[in-house]
Each structure stands twice: as C-alpha cells, then as structure tokens.
Amino acid sequence: MLRILFLYLSKAKWANNLITHWGFAWRAASRFVAGEDNEQALIIASQLNSEGFRIALDPLGEHTNTTDAAIAAADEIVGLLDKINQNSVNSYVSIKLSQLGLLFDETLCYSLLKKILLKAKETGLFIRVDMEDSSITNKTIETTIWMRSIYQNVGVVIQSYLYRSESDVFTVLKELIPVRMVKGAYNEPKEVAYPNKADVNENFDKLSQIILKSNLKFQKLDSSPLHPPILAIATHDEPRIKNLLDFARINGFEKLDFEIQMLYGIRRDLQEKYLDLGYPVRIYIPYGTHWYPYFMRRLAERPANVWFFLSNIFK
C-alpha cells in the first residue's frame, strides 16, 4: 500500500509543489541526491572515483512539458559532458527521454538528442538511456536504436518486472546495445508486469544470464575501450548479485565482463564489499533541482525510508 501511495505521489503535481517547499524534504532527499547542481555532483563523483568506483551521473528531470524546459535539460546534459571530460571524471551520463520532451514533441526530442550525441562523440563519453514507465518502453527502445545509428556509445535499461523484457533483451542485443538490468521502479498493472517479487527476481537472474552469455560475440564486434560491458546489473539485492557471480564463475567469465551498479546513498556496505572483491562497481549519482519524483520512488522502495523522511521534520 505504501509503495503504491508513494508511486502515486511521485507523479502528483500538487504533492510535488507542496513537498518541495518543505525545507526538511530536501534535507531527507539529499541522502539520495548529490546536490542541486553539477558542481556538487562532480565533487562527489571525483571523490568516489578516487576510492575506485565508476560513476553514472544523472541530471534529474522527467516528464518535461515545455519546449524551454526540454532545451534547458539538453543544455545541462551537454554542459555536464564537457565538465566530465575537462575534469577527467570516470563517469558516463544517464538521461531520460521524457526529460527531453519525448512525450509532447518528438521532433524536438530527436533534435536535442542529436545535439547531445554530437557532444558525446566529441568527448568520447557513453550515454545511458534510463527506462521509464511502460507507456514509453517501445519508444525508448526504438529511440535508443536510432541513437546508436548516430553514435555507437549508447546503452539502454531493461526492467525484469515487465513480461515483454525477454523479447526486448533479444532486440537490443541484436543491435549490440549494452544493457543495465534493473527490477523496475514504477507502478505497473498486472497486465504488463509480474505482480510477485519472486517472479521479478527469477526474471532478473534469467535475463542477466542471457545478456552476459552474449558477451563474447559482443566483444569481438566492438572492442572500443570506452564502451562499458554489455551487462550491468543494477540492484542492492545481494542474492541477485551472488547468483550472477556464480553463473559468471561457472561459465568462465571474468570480473571485468560485467558491472555491478548501485544508487548513491543506498547500501554503501555492499558497494564497498564488491569493489574490495575486485568487481567493477558503478555508483549512479542523481543531482539537480528536479529531485522530487526520484526521491518519492526511493521512499516507495523501502518503508524504512519513510520513517527516515519523517524524522527529518523534527531535526
């Protein structure tokens, strides 16, 4: 119930307006969000780089509904690519298509993407397209395939809670597009997504293994050193990580054949554990003033976070 409530609140404009005006809300959100601008996020990214972590920076924003806001989001991404390059930060950039106007003006979105891809090409940096709710899964996959035809250093995200995901995995692997495997963070009806956690977990393991097995073919065709591995498993669920590590070991894969990704502010102990064991660990660092929906999704994932949020009222 709490999960559904917070996922509803993540999309409710009235709640966004209300909650973002409470000072304590930002105090609580800043556990998961690295700052309100890229300067603060880059400082944290460099610090984590020096500890050995790879980074994915996420300039927060989604469901943009004006041309000006979409252009501003693209400008932020382009500026971030420049700063990552100038400061030699080991990071790529994660973007959301709805932040670039996909939902109200596809032509605008594609022209902004071209601008971003040009900068990515110039700086040699990788762009990951985050996956949003199932109403735009098709468009996200189609657009990522189009992006790859312009600049090959792009990747996508697949959600194991969707029934369609196995077929999507084969579609993107055919195009040699690297995948970040996640469980899925949105509220989806049982017509499109597994309602039971056990099924989501089983599908996560199965799809991760399919992707990893495609690795050898992928490496032969694309050996660019800037390209991240074909598979990143993005989870804080240790059994998911252990299952993949076992599968990789039994099948002769090496530690560098895949990445483990986790979110900034969540399970720091696990992040350090797998880094110390010699696996590549990438931390996803969101930043920016549009932190509200991201923060609500993090509250939805874990009831304990709600108490943490409320405890900030009294601080």
Ligand X SMILES: Cc1cc2nc3c(=O)[nH]c(=O)nc-3n(C[C@H](O)[C@H](O)[C@H](O)COP(=O)(O)OP(=O)(O)OC[C@H]3O[C@@H](n4cnc5c(N)ncnc54)[C@H](O)[C@@H]3O)c2cc1C
Single residue of 62, 76, 130, 257 touching ligand X by CB under 6 A = 130
Select 60 or 182, whichever has its Cβ closest to ligand X: 182
Q: Rounded to an integer, what distance in angstroms lies between the CA atom of residue 17 and that of residue 7?
A: 16
Single residue of 236, 285, 288, 309 touching ligand X by CB under 6 A = 236
SS3 160: coil
Asked if 180 and 186 touch (Cβ cutoff 8 Å), the reply is no
Options 148, 180, 240, 297, the catalytic residue: 180
Asked if 285 and 264 touch (Cβ cutoff 8 Å), the reply is yes
Our finding on whether 153 is near ligand X (CB under 6 A) is: no
Single residue of 143, 235, 243, 271 touching ligand X by CB under 6 A = 235
Site for ligand X in 171-200 (CB under 6 A): 182-186
DSSP one-letter code for 228: P
Is 240 one of the annotated active-site residues of the chain? no
Q: Rounded to an integer, what distance in angstroms lies between the CA atom of residue 162 and that of residue 233?
A: 16
Single residue of 3, 83, 206, 267 touching ligand X by CB under 6 A = 267
Angle (CA) 98 161 59, round 5°: 30
Could you tell me how far CA 301 lies from the centroid of its own chain? 15
Select 188 or 257, whichever has its Cβ closest to ligand X: 188
Counting residues that bind ligand X (by CB under 6 A) gives 23
Our finding on whether 290 is near ligand X (CB under 6 A) is: no
Our finding on whether 298 is near ligand X (CB under 6 A) is: yes
Could you tell me how far CA 50 lies from the centroid of its own chain? 22
Pick the closest to residue 6 from 314, 302, 311 (CA basis).
Answer: 302
Residue 132 C-beta: closest distance to ligand X, Å:
7
Pick the closest to residue 154 from 257, 205, 224, 64 (CA basis).
Answer: 224
Select 148 or 236, whichever has its Cβ closest to ligand X: 236
Is 222 one of the annotated active-site residues of the chain? no
Q: Which stretch binds ligand X (CB under 6 A): 9-17, 109-117, 166-174, 256-264?
A: 256-264
Our finding on whether 262 is near ligand X (CB under 6 A) is: yes
Long-range contacts of 303-307 (CB under 8 A, 24+ apart): 303/2, 306/2, 306/6
Our finding on whether 137 is near ligand X (CB under 6 A) is: no
Sites of contact with ligand X (CB under 6 A): 130-131, 157, 159, 182-186, 234-237, 261-263, 266-267, 284, 298, 301-302, 305
Active site residues: 130, 180
